[in-house]
Amino acid sequence: MPTAEEWDRIRRDLRFGQRFQGKVTLVPNPGAIGVFVDIGLPVGGFVDCRLLPETADRWPTVGTITEFELWWADERQQVRLKAVDPQFVTDDFDEHVARWRPGWPDERGQAVP
């Protein structure tokens, strides 16, 4: 795990919507928590269950390699991700974004605060 200073440095280079190829490494409680993803950074990636399909049988499984985009990164040393492939994204993504993160389209490409 990087130091707080190293994490700050890593975050300075991150952009919302930045794409990473990643490999799902852990699905601790299918349908309830989310999936952990290795995207080649010294911190872990995570896709929250709210951004995944409602039914866990549509979630990516351990070993799945697919593309993800950066959804959020804050002081916690973890990169929050969203799958790019629509089969791994919640069916109501547009409604979710409109309600909880209406600025998302304009945030893409912007530096992570």
Q: Yes or no: say if 2 and 78 are a contact pair by the CB < 8 Å rule.
A: no
The domains found in the chain, sorted by start residue, are 4-103 (2.40.50.140)
* C-alpha count within 13 angstroms, C-beta hemisphere, residue 20: 22
Helix (H) or strand (E) holding 84, with range, is none
Please tell me the distance from the alpha carbon of residue 42 to that of residue 29, in angstroms, as a whole number: 24
Classify 103 as helix, strand or coil.
coil
Tens digit of each residue's pLDDT, the chain (113 residues):
899 999 999 999 999 999 999 999 999 998 899 999 999 999 999 999 999 999 999 999 999 999 999 999 988 999 999 999 999 999 999 999 999 999 999 999 999 98
DSSP letter at 15 equals B
* This prediction's pTM: 0.94
Quick one: pLDDT at residue 112? 92
Quick one: pLDDT at residue 71? 97
Please tell me the distance from the alpha carbon of residue 32 to that of residue 106, in angstroms, as a whole number: 29
